[in-house]
Chain A
Amino acid sequence: MNCNTLHTKMIFFLEGELPEREMEEIKIHLESCTDCAAFAEEMKKTLAVLETDKTPQLNPFFYTRVKARLEKQAEEKVVTQRIPVFARILQPAIFSVLLLAGIYTGIKIGQPAKINSDQSVYTENEMIPYLNEMEAEAIENFLME
Chain B
Amino acid sequence: MNEAEIIQKLQQGNEQAFRHLVENYQKRVVNTCYGLVQNTEDAEDIAQDVFVEVFRSIGSFRADAKLSTWLYRIAVNRSLNHIRDNKKRKWFQSFEDAVKEKKAGLLHYATENPGTELENLQRANILHEAISSLPENQRTAFTLNKYEELSYKEIAEIMDVSVASVESLIHRAKT
Question: Are chains A and B native binding partners rather than an unrelated pairing?
Answer: yes
**Which A residues are CB-close (under 8 A) to B44?**
56, 59, 62
Distance in angstroms from B164 CB to nearest chain A CB is 15
Cβ of A9 under 8 Å from chain B: yes
- From B22, B49, B171, A63 is in contact (CB under 8 Å) with B22
Residues of B within 8 A of A47 (CB): 127
- Distance, CA A47 to CA B120, complexed state (A): 10
B112 touches A62 (CB 8 A): no
C-alpha gap A5/B124 in the complex (Å): 22
Q: How many A-B contacts at CB < 8 Å in the complex?
A: 78
Distance in angstroms from A15 CB to nearest chain B CB is 8
B174 contact from A12, A49, A52, A59, Cβ within 8 A? A12
Q: Could you show 29 A-B contacts with beta carbons less than 8 Å apart? A: A9-B174, A9-B175, A11-B174, A12-B171, A12-B173, A17-B174, A18-B174, A45-B120, A46-B124, A47-B127, A49-B120, A49-B123, A50-B146, A52-B113, A53-B127, A54-B31, A54-B35, A54-B146, A56-B31, A56-B40, A57-B112, A62-B22, A62-B26, A62-B44, A62-B47, A63-B23, A65-B48, A69-B48, A70-B56
Interface positions, chain A 38-79, Cβ under 8 Å from B, are 42, 45-47, 49-50, 52-59, 62-63, 65-66, 69-70, 73
Which label, helix, strand, loop or mixed, suits the secondary structure of the B interface? helix
A42 to B31, CA, bound (A): 24
Q: B175 — which chain A residues lie within 8 A by C-beta? A: 5, 8-9
